[in-house]
């Protein structure tokens, strides 16, 4: 299905690729309106890409022939779209704010979701108002979320993004098994005023459980009571949480049809709820639900996730651009690029299609980025004049939370718009006012005109929104989740498994007993043997 459209797209691109982006605006004075998607107080502008009416229609035809709409509907209905693990993928149910039931195996899961959300709200309120307190009756001043991957990136990113709405205890996140991270954090905390949330579905994730054990030892040394009472857990392994000593009423579980990188909407978001409060957390869910409804009902051409996904297909598979830069001109979204790295690359970094055959074209691109003007003074040189073209995805709010610093936000907005325009427009040698001749250290005259020229025609999109509120953040995250789904559906891959992370875990478990030894590891051979022996020598010396 759709195989005849791929060569048609490639052929059309070859015919039109040399048309400058500036010329496309000259040809269509309404290009901005024709190539943007509004949704309430958000707008996705993709007019500064090489898409035109014909290529867009081909992409929409590709989406339809690949069964995008049917696959989308199957996901929302709770069908087992995660076929390699024989599971549904129903993270959308966690943020379902309608009265509609959501069924998995003929069971409506919404009552359970509502009950868990209520328990989370009661616990969060207790921590925030001090009714759930330390042994001496004092309120917890700090909460530490211990998790990794989706159990860390989502709540850590969202908590930072919504810092203007934080009115709970101080929130901290530990993920790396490197002892430096937890050691540096614990030095700043008072064990008698610190609550830990262990976020691990299986309660076996080695990095998380190693950090949890360290936290428990630290608490035991710093308080006279049972350290386990200073813990809560987000896990479905109730026997293991009981063995750890965590009371059952402080354990929050979620189903296997919620993948880790899609889980911030439920119990994994407990730390976010404690930080901003249950009411604001519901606003966050409302935003995600609004994007879900838009994705389900809007015509493909007017559908923000669909068009963002099709732009990704165009750039990756047709234009041959291997990566995309996520550039939020919003400092509080500093962790969004890292969050999207996992969401996109763990979901769509696949070489095998659902039919078990090797895919015929590239799938997930490399996703990276940094916030705002910091990036301008770091890697934008490569974006503007490098030999590779990297599509850029700008995000910016029209309004700032810092009302007393209006000049800062005006400069931020101007910088964002200027960068996307410069990438598109470029600057030819003829546009450089005059020959720029300098004398080098050897006396040789150098013409800098070519060095100061910019090729232009570098594509970008811009997502603009009124203000970074909980509702807006919910819509942004759901937008990118569905974008990942759109691309995966068109490639015919499973965006909901992650078998590629397993081998390294297995090998690490085998190597752990060999660290620091010089015998018993000979079977490893080659580089690994040499590295093990070097580690043993350096630890011995």
Question: Any idea how long the chain is?
Answer: 541
**Active-site residue, from 29, 377, 404, 435:** 377
Helix H or strand E segment including 143: strand 142-146
Q: Are strands 103-104 and 107-108 parallel, antiparallel or unpaired?
A: antiparallel
Those residues with Cβ within 8 angstroms of residue 388's Cβ, 6 or more apart along the chain or in another chain: 321, 322, 382
- Strand pairing partners for 69? none
Closest CA to 60 of 320, 292, 303, 353: 303
Closest CA to 346 of 332, 321, 363: 363
290 is catalytic: no
357 is catalytic: no
Q: Which residues of 411-440 are buried (b: 16+ CB within 10 A; e: fewer)?
A: ebbeebeebbebbbbbeeeeebeeeeeeee
Contact between 482 and 344 (Cβ < 8 Å): no
301 is catalytic: no
**Active-site residue, from 255, 283, 346, 481:** 346
Contact between 283 and 471 (Cβ < 8 Å): yes
* DSSP category for residue 142: E
- Strand pairing partners for 323? 366
**Active-site residue, from 114, 322, 505, 522:** 505
Give me the torsion for CA of 377, 383, 387, 388, rounded to 10°: 140
Any idea which residues carry the catalytic annotation?
A: 346, 377, 505
């Amino acid at each position: 299905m759709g195989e005849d459209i791929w060569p048609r797209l490639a052929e059309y691109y070859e015919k039109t690729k040399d048309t400058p982006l500036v010329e496309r605006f000259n040809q269509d004075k309404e290009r901005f309106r024709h190539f943007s998607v509004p949704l309430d107080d958000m707008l996705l502008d993709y007019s500064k890409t090489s898409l035109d009416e014909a290529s867009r229609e081909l992409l929409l035809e590709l989406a339809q022939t690949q069964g995008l709409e049917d696959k989308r509907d199957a996901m929302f209905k709770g069908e087992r779209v995660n076929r390699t693990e024989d599971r549904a993928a129903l993270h959308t149910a966690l943020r379902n704010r309608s009265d509609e039931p959501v069924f998995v195996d003929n069971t409506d899961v919404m009552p359970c979701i509502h009950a868990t959300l209520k328990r989370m709200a009661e616990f969060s309120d207790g921590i925030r108002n001090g009714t759930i307190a330390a042994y001496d009756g004092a309120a917890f001043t700090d909460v530490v979320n211990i998790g990794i991957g989706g159990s860390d990136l989502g709540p850590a990113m969202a908590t930072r993004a919504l810092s203007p709405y934080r009115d709970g205890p101080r929130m901290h996140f530990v993920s790396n098994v490197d002892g430096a991270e937890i050691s540096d954090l614990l030095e700043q905390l008072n064990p008698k005023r610190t609550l830990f949330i262990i976020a691990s579905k299986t309660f076996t994730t080695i990095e998380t459980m190693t950090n949890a054990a360290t936290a428990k030892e630290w608490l035991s040394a710093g308080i006279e009571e049972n350290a386990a009472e200073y813990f809560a857990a987000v896990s479905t392994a109730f026997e293991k949480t009981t063995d750890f000593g965590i009371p059952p009423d402080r354990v929050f579980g979620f189903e296997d049809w919620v993948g880790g990188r899609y889980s911030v909407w439920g119990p994994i978001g407990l730390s976010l709820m404690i930080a901003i409060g249950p009411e604001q957390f519901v606003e966050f869910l409302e935003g995600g639900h609004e994007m879900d409804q838009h994705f389900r009902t809007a015509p493909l051409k007017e559908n923000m996730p669909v068009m963002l996904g099709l732009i990704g297909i165009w750039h990756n598979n047709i234009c041959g651009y291997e990566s995309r830069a996520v550039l939020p001109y919003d400092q509080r979204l500093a962790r969004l690029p890292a969050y999207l790295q996992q969401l996109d690359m763990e979901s769509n970094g696949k070489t095998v299609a659902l039919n078990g055959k090797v895919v015929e074209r590239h799938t997930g691109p490399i996703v990276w980025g940094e916030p705002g003007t910091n990036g301008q003074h770091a890697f934008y040189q490569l974006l503007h004049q490098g030999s590779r073209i990297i599509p850029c995805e700008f995000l910016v709010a029209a309004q700032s939370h810092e009302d007393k610093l209006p000049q800062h936000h005006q400069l931020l907005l101007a910088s964002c718009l200027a960068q996307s325009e410069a990438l598109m427009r470029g600057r030819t040698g003829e546009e450089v006012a005059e020959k720029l001749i300098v004398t080098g250290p050897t006396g040789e005259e150098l013409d800098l005109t070519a060095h100061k020229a910019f090729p232009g025609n570098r594509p970008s999109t811009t997502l603009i929104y009124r203000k970074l509120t909980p509702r807006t953040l919910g819509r942004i995250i759901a937008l990118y989740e569905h974008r990942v789904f759109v691309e995966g559906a068109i490639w015919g891959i499973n965006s909901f498994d992650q078998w590629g992370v397993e081998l390294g875990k297995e090998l690490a478990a085998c190597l752990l007993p060999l660290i620091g030894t010089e015998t018993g590891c000979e079977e490893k051979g080659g580089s690994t043997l040499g590295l093990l022996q070097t580690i043993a020598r350096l630890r011995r010396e």
